[in-house]
Structure 1
């Protein structure tokens, strides 16, 4: 009986921990901001890791911005294995994909090397109407 209760408690605690995952960029919790759109910018690198940045409209500068990394514990960060893994992570945190684009896709050598830009919108619980 103790083993069953311990297993249930462990599953509950793990689920509780996973439900509190947040999109952190530097020290900013993007999920807590009063914004409706973010842009995930990323590309898969050749070493089975992705480089991913989040633009949430606060003076974003890719050359000065740190990468968006998946938080595992309060202080530990882990890279995403692919851009799709990052998209799934932000989806689980309440964001859904609206559009994907590649800046200057016709420029020589840019199609495969250029990062893709994924525009995401906060999932809404109810449609807000402005009259």
Structure 2
């Protein structure tokens, strides 16, 4: 009980940590000016995380994933635990799920989630 009390006290004394938004191409996800986007995901070999790329029609360079990765406030790629983890992030940022399809002909299935921007 004492530990909980002191942790809460410390949070109020030092302030809650500032939550910064994730970005794509240095644009906050909620500010991407497109009607539709697609989350493309592949399970990593460990099976515990997903390699996620975002396609919203942007021009990308060959062999460069810089333009397709979600970054945190420090500019590092965000790691997702599952496709639903990525979907939840985008839903919190003004997108809604439309449909999903899977390409299972590859060694590791590739998941494609289509999202639409809500009219917030």
Normalized against structure 1, the TM-score is what?
0.64
Once residues 74 and 43 of structure 1 are traced to their aligned partners in structure 2, the CA distance between those partners, rounded to angstroms, is: 24
Equivalent residues of 1:69, 1:80 under 8 A apart: no
Seen in structure 2, the aligned counterparts of structure 1 residues 111 and 78 have a Cα distance that, compared at 3 Å, is closer
Per the TM alignment, residue 99 of structure 1 is displaced from its structure 2 partner at its CA by 0.8
Secondary structure at the aligned position of 2:21 is classed as coil
Seen in structure 2, the aligned counterparts of structure 1 residues 40 and 21 have a Cα distance that, compared at 3 Å, is same
- Partner in structure 2 of residue 113 of structure 1: 108
Per the TM alignment, residue 60 of structure 1 is displaced from its structure 2 partner at its CA by 4.8
Q: For 1:51-85, what per-residue CA distance to the aligned partner results, in whole angstroms no more than 9, with x for missing partners?
A: 000001112578433352451x3434441122221
Once residues 24 and 9 of structure 2 are traced to their aligned partners in structure 1, the CA distance between those partners, rounded to angstroms, is: 37
- Partner in structure 2 of residue 81 of structure 1: 81
Seen in structure 2, the aligned counterparts of structure 1 residues 63 and 117 have a Cα distance that, compared at 3 Å, is farther
Gaps of 5+ in 2: 1-5
Higher relative contact order (CA 8 A, sep 6+): 2
Once residues 58 and 101 of structure 1 are traced to their aligned partners in structure 2, the CA distance between those partners, rounded to angstroms, is: 21
Equivalent residues of 1:70, 1:79 under 8 A apart: no
Q: CA RMSD in A?
A: 3.0
- Partner in structure 2 of residue 128 of structure 1: none
Count of residue pairs brought into register by the alignment: 112
The 5 Å alignment of 1:1-131 reads: 7-8=11-12, 13-14=16-17, 17-18=18-19, 20-22=20-22, 24-47=23-46, 48-60=48-60, 63-66=63-66, 68-71=69-72, 73-103=73-103, 105=104, 110=105, 113-125=108-120
